[in-house]
Amino acid sequence: MNDLEFDNVSKRYRVQDESVAKTGMRARLRALRPTFNEFWAVRDVSFAVKHGEVLGIIGHNGAGKSTILKLISSITTPTFGEIRIFGRLAALIEVGSGFHPELTGRENVYLSGSILGMRRREITENFDRIVDFAGVRQFIDTPVKRYSSGMYVRLGFAIAAHLNPVVLLLDEVLAVGDASFQEKCLARIDELKRAGTTIVFISHDLGAVERICDRVLLMDRGTVSATGSPADVIAEYERVATTFIDAGIPAHQAAVLPRLARVSDLLILDSHGDETVALSTGDSFTIRLTYEAQEEIRDTAISLSIRAQNGDFMCEFSTSTDIPMLNLVAGEGVIEFRCSQLGLQPGKYYFDTKIRDNDWQVKCITLRVDPGVVLPGAFYMPHKVRHLPASDLAVERRAVAPRSAEAKRTLPSRVPVPAPATSKPSE
């Protein structure tokens, strides 16, 4: 059962050409027949949102996200196509819209509530709950121009939050406000989600989108360019959006590669073994590389280079440390690189793969690293910490001290010194 349907919707904006000079008689006469610049903000968009589903819409600036927002909330009408909404719609956009600075909080609750579609009766019933949610009971009868920006936003959100809609439209409103307000917002949204509200979430905050949404739409220049699970679509978006500086394969080397074996697939698995496109600093993960070899290849090595967005070479995973002479089987094989703690700082990275003397592929996949263990520095070095009072340490030192006095003499110098041929070997 669908709660929202977009059926071949297109929206054209006709903006008057203001660039024509307004001086001079001829120009002014020409201005009587204005020329228009046409611009298709949204072209042939169709999708549906099922009852209870949470849909995210992401894309570049100018991709048509705000136009879709305006179309759903009926602020503007489509040029072609139809939008069908099956249920009461509430939009948590621009909280505090409709507030008049001269009126008191109380009067503004009524004004804003009725603008958003609540009946006076409903507003009166919910009035106390709204005021308590916003926490402005003390100031409810002073003009809102006296409110702090926090109170303003809280009151606006409180009004919208008590609408109990069937379809909820959300945008960047969550970005405004302090951390506790954002928590309140998200808590309320979770409540609505559990109650089965259909939500359309339009945002640039990819973390929030991944957290809340069941399905994501990627907009690109007015059309839907991809749809699918949040992880997939976000990865697609990042792949297209992020400009990676290519370290590049030196031309002379690229030409001579025989490519009898090639890397056919590369997956990043998180600590639970699930496929992911994002990890956090300090996470344990596995990289599964699948190769295809046309014949058996002996004595080779497979390596993965990790590069940052600006092309800097960060580090490398290689088979040469654990398997010095790698023999690839004919057909398909899998190499797994296991790492207990990711040392990369938050950012975007891409992987190059190399099969020695055979294959070299650049930018195979991208990885997004989110903040996990947050410590400054160029990278994170995993470490374990122990806290002991000094007395315990002295006990421990004595416990590991050598039993013979002779050995004790050689102890102080731990740095291996080239021993003269005649003396005893040190510890």
Partner 1 sequence: MMGSNVPRILPGAPDFDVGARARQPLVVVRPPRFTPFALIAWLGRLVHYRDLLYTLTMHRVNVRYKQSVLGIAWAVLQPFTLMIIYTVIFSYIVKMPSDGAPYAIFAYAALLPWTSFSTALTTATGGVVSNANLVSKVYFPREILTLSYILSALVDLSIASVVMLGLLWYYHIALTLNALYVFPIILVMLMFATAGGLFLGALNVRIRDIGVAMPLLLQLWMYATPVVYPISALHKLPPMLRTLYQFNPMVGVVENFRRVLLQGVRPDWFSFVIATSVSLICLPLAYLYFKHKEATMADVI
Other beta carbons within 10 angstroms of residue 138's beta carbon come to 10
88 interacts with partner 1 by CB under 8 A: yes
Q: Toward partner 1, which CB reaches closer, 282 or 368?
A: 368
269 interacts with partner 1 by CB under 8 A: no
End-to-end CA distance of the chain: 77
311-329 burial, b at 16+ Cβ within 10 Å, e below that, comes to eeeeeebbbeeeeeebebe
348-387 residues near partner 1, rule: CB under 8 A: 364-365
Q: Toward partner 1, which CB reaches closer, 74 or 426?
A: 74
11-30 residues near partner 1, rule: CB under 8 A: 13-15
Residue 119, token pair as written in the block: 């009946």
Other beta carbons within 10 angstroms of residue 361's beta carbon come to 15
Draw the binding track, 28-67, toward partner 1 (x: CB under 8 A; -: no contact): ---------------xxxxxx-------------------
Partnered with residue 106 across adjacent β-strands are none
Strands 215-220 and 54-59: parallel
CB within 8 Å of 297: residues ≥ 6 apart: 260, 261, 327, 328, 355, 358
Q: Toward partner 1, which CB reaches closer, 77 or 413?
A: 77
CB within 8 Å of 60: residues ≥ 6 apart: 219, 220, 221, 241
Element of type H or E holding 280: strand 278-280
Shortest Å, Cβ 85 to partner 1: 4
User: How many residues does this entry show for the chain?
Assistant: 427
Task: Please identify which residue in 76, 138, 310, 426 interacts with partner 1, judged by CB under 8 A.
Answer: 76
Task: Please identify which residue in 30, 62, 86, 214 interacts with partner 1, judged by CB under 8 A.
Answer: 86
404 interacts with partner 1 by CB under 8 A: no
Q: How far is CA 78 from the centre of its chain?
A: 30
Shortest Å, Cβ 100 to partner 1: 7
Draw the binding track, 99-118, toward partner 1 (x: CB under 8 A; -: no contact): -x-xx---x--xx--xxxxx
Shortest Å, Cβ 77 to partner 1: 4
Shortest Å, Cβ 417 to partner 1: 52
97 interacts with partner 1 by CB under 8 A: yes
Task: Please identify which residue in 228, 343, 346, 372 interacts with partner 1, judged by CB under 8 A.
Answer: 228
